[in-house]
Structure 1
Amino acid sequence: MTIHPDRTLPASDRFQLGTDGAIGRRPLPRETIRQVLDSDRRREVVRCALAATDPIAVRTLVGRLADAERDPTVGTTIHRLRQRIHTSLCETHLPLLEKHDIVRYDEMRSLVAPAANCAAFESLLEFDSLERPISARLE
């Protein structure tokens, strides 16, 4: 009989310990990979998750995205931009990434960490420049 101590811990502790849930993991379909890579915000979340050694605060992700997206010529304040980014991350992007086991999103603690399928994106996100079409990277 095999004992899996991480399964006896509460879900909040498993999140913190970094278990990746790789048991029974199946490869992601190409359409899912394209869907994830189709959004600048999702790509950046995956990049951050891959680079992090600890869970990342959603607030940190919002700040990073706001800095990248801010356009001083547009009349939107940084506060309003951060609000829009936070809403889109929490309501759209993070749930989608979590659904496909790419990141783990702890809504109560507002933390994001890589999940079992996150590593599948490492070679696809090596390029800082998005000049190379996504479809070419998937071939």
Structure 2
Amino acid sequence: MATTSESQPAKTGSAGNDTQSQEGEIFDLLSNQRRRYAIHYCKREGEPVTLGDLAEHVAAWELEKNVEAITSAERKRVYTSLQQTHLPTLERSDMIEFDDRTIELTDEAAELDVYLDVVPADSVPWATYYLGLAAVGSVVMAGLWLEVVPTETVPELGWSTLVFALFTVSAIVHVVQNRRMRLGEMERPP
């Protein structure tokens, strides 16, 4: 029995390390812009794509051009990089199936959305926003408890409903924005 209990903590520890290792691998995959663009294009299309089409779109996004404006040399540079480096890396991680000409996302790729909470540069992170909203709600509730918030024009239930409505509207906006900012949801990658 002592042997069993001694081996269990090692098993739990290795499972924790496996999770950290897997997350590290996913962050490493997503750290490269070309791989993110490739995943975005495949998700957006929703079916197997050709390497040529993928290379054109990735080159266009990288160079901020229209697909029609991409030169043969620009396309070939991206094509070669995708074929030799990025697509084999994604395939080894079971994110895509790649047969030298077509690329298809696997079911594993759907799990990447958890790691892609994109916050636009001109935006406040949602965690900070909700912390501020909680502070406002706390001030209103403390004011009600201390009877310094006027309840003649707006009753206590009205104030509570207002705070609840602010959280509800914020949560709806948050969900809509997150869905819109996922890879594969927009024309250009976020």
TM-score, normalising length: structure 1: 0.62
- What amino acid is aligned across from residue 104 of structure 2 in structure 1? A
Between structure 1 and structure 2, the one with the greater Rg is 2
CA distance in 2, matches of 1:32, 1:86: 24
Pair 1:57–1:128, CA change in 2 (3 A): farther
2:31 paired residue number? 38
- What amino acid is aligned across from residue 90 of structure 1 in structure 2? Q
- Structure 2 residue ranges without an equivalent (≥5): 1-17, 124-190
1:58 equivalent to 2:42? Answer no
Deviation, 1:68, is 1.3
Map 1:43-122 onto structure 2 (within 5 A).
43-70=36-63, 78-107=71-100, 110-122=101-113
CA contact (8 A) 1:47 1:125 kept: no
CA contact (8 A) 2:48 2:102 kept: yes
> Matched residue pairs, number?
101
Bigger share in helix: 2
Pair 1:122–1:59, CA change in 2 (3 A): same
Deviation, 1:38, is 0.9
Deviation, 1:98, is 0.3
Pair 1:128–1:70, CA change in 2 (3 A): farther
Deviation, 1:35, is 1.2
CA contact (8 A) 1:41 1:93 kept: yes
- Indicate the percent of aligned positions where both proteins have the same amino acid: 24
2:22 paired residue number? 29
CA contact (8 A) 1:43 1:125 kept: no
CA contact (8 A) 2:41 2:57 kept: no
- Name the SS for the 2:103 alignment partner: strand
Deviation, 1:45, is 1.1
Q: Using CA pairs below 8 Å that are at least 6 residues apart, which structure has the higher relative contact order?
A: 1
- Structure 1 residue ranges without an equivalent (≥5): 1-25, 133-139
Pair 1:114–1:71, CA change in 2 (3 A): closer
CA contact (8 A) 1:103 1:118 kept: yes
TM-score, normalising length: structure 2: 0.46
